[in-house]
Amino acid sequence: MNGAAAAAFDDGFTASRLFSQGFSYAYDDVILLPHYIDFPADAVDLSTRLSRNHPLSIPCVASPMDTVSETSMAVAMASLGGAAIIHCNTIPARQAAIVRSAKSRRIPFASDPSFFAPSDFVSSAADFGSASFAIVTESGSSKSKPVGLISRSDWEALADEDYPVSKYMRQTPASIPSNYDFEQVAAFLAGEGLKLASLVGLDGEIIDLVSAEDVVRIRSFPKLGMPSLSSDGKFLVGAAIGTREEDKERLTHLVKAGVDVVVVDSSQGNSKYQMDMIKHAKNTYPGLDIIGGNVVTMAQAQNLIKVGVDGIRVGMGSGSICTTQEVCAVGRGQATAVYKVASFANDYDVPVIADGGISYSGHIVKALVLGASTVMMGSFLAGSQEAPGIYEYQATRASPSAPRKIPPEELAKDGHLVKKYRGMGSLEAMTKGSDARYLGDILKLKVAQGVVGSVADKGSILKFIPYTMQAVKQGLQDLGASSLPIAHDLLRTDVLQLEVRTGAAQVEGGVHGLSSYEKKAF
């Protein structure tokens, strides 16, 4: 039976009918009914737009959160064909430095090494951060002349750790231009028989260290696709700003650093403060794409479109660490919000970013079919190697029947290697400045709209995002959509049908009826 014949049946609900009944639906509340397949899954094209003028190869965006998006996330997402938005929960100079660092690379990872002067001492392993090496320069800054490097393993092997780094540093490694792409870096290391090299910027500043082990690790992941590049040929990098007067200065810093797109970051984007900031940004930098939000209604979206936004971020209270709906009694189910706003924004050719509520690939499929051009993810990425912070061990596994201590070698297997993840509305994040996002920076009493938690280790996004995108392709194939524009058109023309799932249907749709199981996505 072909697609046209299937549309003649009264079998399911059209989106316009389903979302006009006064219910606020989350992604899990709805299910898409399958359609007609006449193409292989690998033929599905996931290319899309982040904003009006910035195309992406995959519909994935890393959220501007301080436990999600910094240099490592930005370069990895851009390498995969997506994008990251650098958070603004730091001083403008540091945020701009992160943007510059990401823009200066063409390899899919960043180790973010520490810098020491020869007379400095390493007090703990934490001084190395997440890197296994640190760079020694004359003054201890990245811009001074390199004189050597130290490794974490060498420091750990010292009988007495109370030595200046000059006593055990190694020779300065060979250098290569930071604009070398991954294949050029790999070829240089192999051709010279080197285990390590330093990436150096045009001004002579050391950007990073890259090793032969890094090359082997990256080659073990799925092949990289088409990267996200800006008009200057560098990685596409976005950044967030707030809505206060001082954010105008932050915007200037970011533009000078080469930022490609700016997100005006607010939990409730339909405000005079946001509209004034958007107008300022568009008037001052007319060639810069500005994304507004967050919104969940058509009326909110209309106001942002009127002031010239190039993209709209949709979601209020749907994130795993967000308590806005609980605390403030405002928001909307994410499936309903995405459909409503995207239906309106489509008439103005403004891309929609579905922000929040993404736990697995099926949620991504639903968000995209309901009209989003991209999905923005926080918790989905926060447990990755590319997210800021270090892994911690949760060594005790609570079990109702037999609690036991998990040996360290089992922790990663059992999901007990974790990273910290916090909402930008948590009190902890607000102390760093994110209260402005909730219009609470001038209030004497701070009320949290988020929590602090942890997420399990997920490995590198360079591995799990390609597998996730393959699952999204298979979902779109089941719906008869070989591209995102076709998926949007099938929904708008009422060819695709949906239904609401009962609680029992949701249970039935997941793993059930087993005494035990192991769930591996790939």
The Cα–Cα gap between 272 and 266 comes to 12
**Which of 218, 223, 215, 227 shows the shortest CA–CA distance to 191?**
215
Annotated catalytic residue within 322, 397, 404, 422: 322
| Catalytic residue list contains 322 | yes
User: 165 phi and psi, to 5 degrees?
Assistant: -65, -25
Contact between 71 and 257 (Cβ < 8 Å): no
Annotated catalytic residue within 106, 250, 332, 437: 437
**Which of 72, 97, 101 shows the shortest CA–CA distance to 84?**
72
Please give the DSSP secondary-structure letter assigned to residue 322. Answer: B
Contact between 476 and 39 (Cβ < 8 Å): no
**Which of 233, 224, 258, 256 shows the shortest CA–CA distance to 82?**
224
User: 239 phi and psi, to 5 degrees?
Assistant: -150, 155
What are the distances in angstroms from CA 433 to CA 66, 270, 438, 490, 513?
11, 21, 10, 43, 47
**Which of 235, 192, 234 shows the shortest CA–CA distance to 76?**
235
| Catalytic residue list contains 88 | no
The Cα–Cα gap between 73 and 385 comes to 9
Catalytic residues: 322, 437
